[in-house]
Structure 1
Amino acid sequence: MPIRGLKRDLAAIAVLAALALLFFWPVTMGGRTMLPVDSVYAWEPWRSTAGAEGVGVAHNSLVLDLYLQNYAWKSFIVDCLRAGELPLWNPYILSGVPFLAGGQHSAMYPLSTVFYVLPLEAAYGWFAALHVFLAGAFTYILARTLRVSRAGSLIAGAAFSFGGFMVIRNVFPMIVAAAVWLPLILAVVEVTVRRAEEGAPSPMGAIPLLAVGAAALGMVLLAGHPEMYYYVALTTAAYSLWRLAGLWRRRRSWRRSALVAAGLLGMGVVGLGLGAAQWVPLLDLVRHNFREGSASFAEVLGWAYPPRRAISLLIPDFFGNPAHHSYLDLFTWQRVDVSVNALGDRIDTIYWGIKNYVEGAAYVGILPLLLAAVAVLRRQGRRWGFFALLAALSLAFVFGSRLYWLVFRLPGLNQVHSPFRWVYLYTLSVAMLAGMGADA
């Protein structure tokens, strides 16, 4: 790539970095914290002291997991490290439980170093900003790899990194930590196969690329969220097969196709090795998980998005927002605090959705949706078909189609009761299609 072109790509990635920092400025440089500390006052024993301490309605009690769960995990890890111990066992839950094997604390995830060098109340903001930036940068790289223009790639990167999935789910650091690496892995697969399509003289030249892909896979595993393992693995496998089929159609060479397939398989094996410190003990732990077989296929489908939730793909706050506690009276033009609903029940938020707001966040943006539609209608861009199919299939899973049986029967996925999290792959697919549509 010419130096001038590289500088332009770096400038575009710098724009994504600036956007992430600007978006999270209050909780990075602004002296505030992402931790919903005020939410604990909705529970005893803190609720009894809320009035005396001048604490009113919590800003957003829905994100309490970040404080009661993740913050507790991170505090325990930091305390153990300061004492020179590994956090293998947590004695503070019941009579004690395995801790390090559980994974979702992301203790061995390299970028969790942020939590070990910064005060925890500050670390969460920087961790979120870093991963929103990485999501955008890696999606930009994938789009450029697929020959999307710089402007289109910037749109793709911004759509994925600032879509509802990435932004709202920062309440689950382990999910976003795993989610950001998939675009980079797909870019490695694309370049590896394309080298063979274009007649690269030696497959050895792909080794540095495959090493990058293996490292990214290792990062996904070390992030410690088993459900994300499946999403990344299934998508990587599907894209690899899609591209290998294209390689065979173009070159008609069993030897070349087999070499590329072996390289991609080797990337996966090395990635598994890099993440083995986390997934091997986790595999042993999940065998004793009470969720094994605890829900039928019909019950799991019942937890998918209801059809009416489709409107939130276009209007994200159609069902309200748990962080909103008042409404604008159009007759008096004054804000009115909510206190009771039409049934006389006490409420403190305007949210009335039938799906958890965090898990129901699927908004990508009107412009990305329009551009994605253009890409599909005009068959614009390389691999548009793959991402259109992935988006459609993901939406089918999200809304409880019986097609979900295709993945429900995979080993371990009967412990996963959240078909709605396929919105992750829907979001990435729409973002990629939006970038392609921008070039139409």
Structure 2
Amino acid sequence: MRPDPNSVSRSRPSDCEMTRRNVVLFWLATPVAIILLLGGVLSGRDRLAFRDVSHFYIPLYQYVAERCHDEWLPLWNPLDQTGIPLVGETTTAVFYPVRYVLFSLPTSASLAVAWYVAIHLVIASLTAVVAARAMKVGRPASMLAGVMYPMSGSIWFLYTNPPYLVAAAWMPLVMAMLLKSGGDDRGKRIVIGGSAMAMMILGGDPQAALHTMMLCSAVMIWRLIRRTVTTASLAVLMLVPMLAACLSAPQLAASLSWSNQSDRVSPDLEARRFTAPIVGGKRHQAQQYSLPPWHIAELVTPNAYGSMLPVYRRLSRLIPGDGRVWTPSIYLGMLAAIALLDRLLRLRSQRIDAPLGIAIASLALASGHFGLVWWIQASTGVMSQVDSSVGGPYWLLYQFFPGYDSFRYPAKWLTFFSLAVAILSAQWLDAGRWKFVKFSLRLVAIVLASGFTVVLYLGWFWLPNHTATPLPFDVFWGPLDFVGGLKEIRISIVHSVIVLLAIRFLVRWSAARHWTRAKTAEVFCLLTLLDLSMVAIGNTYTVNVASEDRLLSSATVERPDGVHRWMRTQADGGWPEIWQRSADEDRLLEVEVSQRLSWFGRWHLTHNAAVLNNMVSIDSKSMAVFWNSAKIDSQSMLPGQRRSHWKQIRHRYRVDGVIHSNDKSAVVDAKSLQLVDVAFWADQPIKQETRQGQMIIRPVYQDGHWTARCRIDDDAAWQPIAVQSHDELMQSTTVPEGMGEVEFRYRPWWLVPSLAVCVFAWMISLLLALRVCTVSGKHRRLSIS
């Protein structure tokens, strides 16, 4: 006897009850998964490694925290080059509240960075849910966006570049407030959206804030054409960036002041828009980290081309034009691939909405120099002298959008692609489209089968016939391991097949059991969380803190005392030549220790040492001109003349210490770990200030905000004197006769007015927030009564 379906439905929890369960699940599942995946670094046992998070931001944020502890508002950084504005270099995030609080705690910088990353991944999850809800996704299905967005390859791997992760964490909240339609909550949207955009700017990535406004403005223009936009939404679109600018006024003022002197805003010497860019030139640098079209395969399998490290197995390196890798994978989960494919197959019946439009536009922009001309070049071999980006959306932005040529790296658009696909997938789940995905499942299965066939062919037929073909190598990770790369791709495809089968099983099982939408959303979210967690484990690179400390202590390098400023030099690449010839599972540890020993990036900041030619986020035009002229002048010199040339430069800028590394290596323990061969040596100390008559010359960069004053003695009044640029990297001032004391001060003109605007804006925002909360509370009580 079959049961009465009505009695069965009455015995199940209601959709409302399941919704509450989903809310609890969301609040716990995704944050817990993030904490568990980062458990090693959050406990202090390991630290995050690889790229900028290690050699750039750990020492930088430690230095900023120390400066903030010693003075209420540090403005000048004397340890990088001949000095640069500390606040003006936006990535320092001096004003960002989360950085300030975390790094003021009595913990190590590496542990603080780990929690910094984890907190922003959790924020990204929360804001993605808000964005999905703003797009009218039901509460249970919106959980999927909260899982998919922070765990996607494009967002998770931003742990290697914390300022971009901060912007990615707050960006969904801004887009939710800007694109939300309907309702009478204009004030709430302005306050929340403006505050979130201010966090993006204060956290160190104003470019992401600009990208957000560009995309949202495009959506609003489309809605305006279709007459579906309200006056309130247009007001929010205008007032949110205005409020954000006021809330972050000191950071914006400092950044604009410094960026006006950046080498990125210098005129492009390549005047023609259609000619191929000069390698190393401004256009060439701007197009780095473009997403090649063949990496779309990563939507259906996470590791479609093999890994980069610690053993070099990235087989896409063999494809001409693959370029530098921004993220190991753009994978968002198998469910995202199915949802996106199903949505594209229904373009005729359903119009392009905001999430799909943003996904298509951002992916096209992320392709960078792979423009229309590139497709012609790749298919026909003609037009080789034409810029490959011509005809592409990134080329249009770079050439015609005012000021956009000062930005770079097209792959920064991938964060918007990840968010759009996550929301699109949540919409797809909410609409119940998972019940009708047989065709999409079959297409994905065919793609995976085709990929597996190609891998088998390469391993069984191609490889035996090309064993003598020289393979490329990486200066850090060694020669390309072709066999190992094929194995990793096979494992990745098997992973995708298992998830695909699980989805197919859940589709059939949920239909047979008549699951509610809430329960279906819950199960699919858990499956996606498991899917993406497995991928995130392989894309999180860490080193053991104890092992690193042991190697550092065993490879101690003597550093002379009394050095005012250092300069890094290298011979034959500067890294151990053995790294290129051999592979080692411990190579990441070797690289990290070697970078610390040689003060690569900004590790010199941990020793409170100044370096003339260190790495910074934004170089000044003066520094670029100096190095270009210095290198050009030295190229035509004989060895003896070249040594004298660089010695004069060191003396001129008071560089009395040299850090030199070469391609030799040192064995440091029984396992034969290879570290860089680095040596520190010092010249005779050089006097800091030089007097030529009444002129004082200082090896300090003049960005326009250095002032000076002088007086005869302690009882006399101060007299202001002008400070000017002496050359590209130094400043000078002329002291009147009889003056015995001179004082130099860094006083940016924008500091007081921007702080006043900022304080006033935050006070107004807090008052508006209190008013919004009060009105919302009244409405809630009235609705209950």
Q: CA deviation at 1:221?
A: 1.2
Distance 1:226 1:145, change over 3 A: closer
1:261 corresponds to: 234
Distance 1:115 1:208, change over 3 A: same
Matched, 1:212 2:198: no
2:468 corresponds to: none
* Partners of 1:4 and 1:427 in 2: CA distance: 27
1:405 corresponds to: 395
Q: Which of 328, 341, 355 lines up with 1:373 in the alignment?
A: 341
* Alignment deviations for residues 257-310 of structure 1 (CA, whole Å, 9 cap, x no partner): 434422431222111111112112111211111122458665447532333333
Q: CA deviation at 1:360?
A: 5.4
Matched, 1:318 2:286: no
Written as runs of structure 1 = structure 2, the 5 A alignment for 1:2-401 is: 8-9=22-23, 11-29=25-43, 31-36=44-49, 63-112=50-99, 113-117=101-105, 118-191=107-180, 193-195=181-183, 200=184, 205-243=185-223, 248-249=227-228, 257-292=230-265, 293-294=267-268, 298-299=276-277, 300=283, 303=288, 304-325=290-311, 349-352=312-315, 353=317, 354-359=322-327, 361-378=329-346, 385-399=353-367, 400-401=370-371
Counterpart AA for 1:350: R
Distance 1:249 1:226, change over 3 A: closer
Q: CA deviation at 1:357?
A: 3.3
* Partners of 2:258 and 2:349 in 1: CA distance: 44
2:405 corresponds to: 414
Distance 1:244 1:360, change over 3 A: farther
Count of aligned pairs between the two proteins: 373
Q: Which runs of 5+ in 1 are unaligned?
A: 37-62, 251-256, 326-348
Distance 1:168 1:210, change over 3 A: same
Q: CA deviation at 1:162?
A: 0.5
Counterpart AA for 2:313: I
Q: CA deviation at 1:428?
A: 1.3
* Partners of 1:174 and 1:185 in 2: CA distance: 17
Task: Work out whether residues 360 and 420 of structure 1, in 8 Å CA contact, stay in contact via their aligned partners in 2.
Answer: no
* Partners of 2:140 and 2:18 in 1: CA distance: 16
Distance 1:240 1:280, change over 3 A: farther
Q: CA deviation at 1:249?
A: 4.0
* Alignment deviations for residues 207-232 of structure 1 (CA, whole Å, 9 cap, x no partner): 12321111111111111223222222
* Alignment deviations for residues 333-369 of structure 1 (CA, whole Å, 9 cap, x no partner): xxxxxxxxxxxxxxxx333434333345422222211
Does the residue aligned with 1:186 lie in a helix, a strand or coil? helix
Does the residue aligned with 1:356 lie in a helix, a strand or coil? coil
Does the residue aligned with 2:194 lie in a helix, a strand or coil? helix
Counterpart AA for 1:415: S
Counterpart AA for 1:214: G
Q: CA deviation at 1:148?
A: 1.9
Task: Work out whether residues 109 and 222 of structure 1, in 8 Å CA contact, stay in contact via their aligned partners in 2.
Answer: yes
Does the residue aligned with 1:100 lie in a helix, a strand or coil? coil
Task: Work out whether residues 224 and 279 of structure 1, in 8 Å CA contact, stay in contact via their aligned partners in 2.
Answer: no
Task: Work out whether residues 33 and 124 of structure 1, in 8 Å CA contact, stay in contact via their aligned partners in 2.
Answer: no
Q: Which runs of 5+ in 2 are unaligned?
A: 1-15, 278-282, 372-391, 434-785
Does the residue aligned with 1:129 lie in a helix, a strand or coil? helix
Counterpart AA for 2:335: L
Higher helix share: 1
- Farther-moved stretch of structure 1 (270-279 vs 370-379): 370-379
Task: Work out whether residues 114 and 127 of structure 1, in 8 Å CA contact, stay in contact via their aligned partners in 2.
Answer: yes
Q: CA deviation at 1:21?
A: 1.6
State the TM-score, normalizing by the size of structure 1: 0.76
* Partners of 2:64 and 2:357 in 1: CA distance: 41
- Farther-moved stretch of structure 1 (4-13 vs 354-363): 4-13
Does the residue aligned with 1:355 lie in a helix, a strand or coil? coil
Task: Work out whether residues 396 and 403 of structure 1, in 8 Å CA contact, stay in contact via their aligned partners in 2.
Answer: yes
Distance 1:381 1:438, change over 3 A: farther
Counterpart AA for 2:35: L
- Farther-moved stretch of structure 1 (72-81 vs 236-245): 236-245
Does the residue aligned with 1:288 lie in a helix, a strand or coil? coil
Task: Work out whether residues 30 and 122 of structure 2, in 8 Å CA contact, stay in contact via their aligned partners in 1.
Answer: yes
| CA RMSD between the two structures | 2.9
Distance 1:403 1:206, change over 3 A: closer
Task: Work out whether residues 186 and 233 of structure 2, in 8 Å CA contact, stay in contact via their aligned partners in 1.
Answer: no
Task: Work out whether residues 201 and 248 of structure 2, in 8 Å CA contact, stay in contact via their aligned partners in 1.
Answer: yes
Task: Work out whether residues 19 and 140 of structure 2, in 8 Å CA contact, stay in contact via their aligned partners in 1.
Answer: no
Task: Work out whether residues 391 and 426 of structure 1, in 8 Å CA contact, stay in contact via their aligned partners in 2.
Answer: yes
Does the residue aligned with 1:122 lie in a helix, a strand or coil? helix
Q: CA deviation at 1:8?
A: 4.6
Task: Work out whether residues 179 and 216 of structure 2, in 8 Å CA contact, stay in contact via their aligned partners in 1.
Answer: no
Distance 1:268 1:245, change over 3 A: farther
Task: Work out whether residues 133 and 139 of structure 2, in 8 Å CA contact, stay in contact via their aligned partners in 1.
Answer: yes
Does the residue aligned with 1:87 lie in a helix, a strand or coil? coil
* Partners of 1:33 and 1:279 in 2: CA distance: 35
Task: Work out whether residues 395 and 422 of structure 1, in 8 Å CA contact, stay in contact via their aligned partners in 2.
Answer: yes
Distance 1:209 1:396, change over 3 A: closer
* Alignment deviations for residues 9-29 of structure 1 (CA, whole Å, 9 cap, x no partner): 354233222222222222213
* Partners of 1:383 and 1:10 in 2: CA distance: 34
Does the residue aligned with 1:388 lie in a helix, a strand or coil? helix
Counterpart AA for 2:353: G
Does the residue aligned with 1:34 lie in a helix, a strand or coil? strand
* Alignment deviations for residues 229-255 of structure 1 (CA, whole Å, 9 cap, x no partner): 222221232334445556x348xxxxx
- Farther-moved stretch of structure 1 (226-235 vs 294-303): 294-303
**Structure 1 residue ranges, 4+ long, deviating more than 6 angstroms after superposition:** 379-383
Does the residue aligned with 2:104 lie in a helix, a strand or coil? helix
Q: CA deviation at 1:374?
A: 2.2
- Farther-moved stretch of structure 1 (90-99 vs 394-403): 394-403
Task: Work out whether residues 19 and 139 of structure 2, in 8 Å CA contact, stay in contact via their aligned partners in 1.
Answer: no
Higher strand share: 2
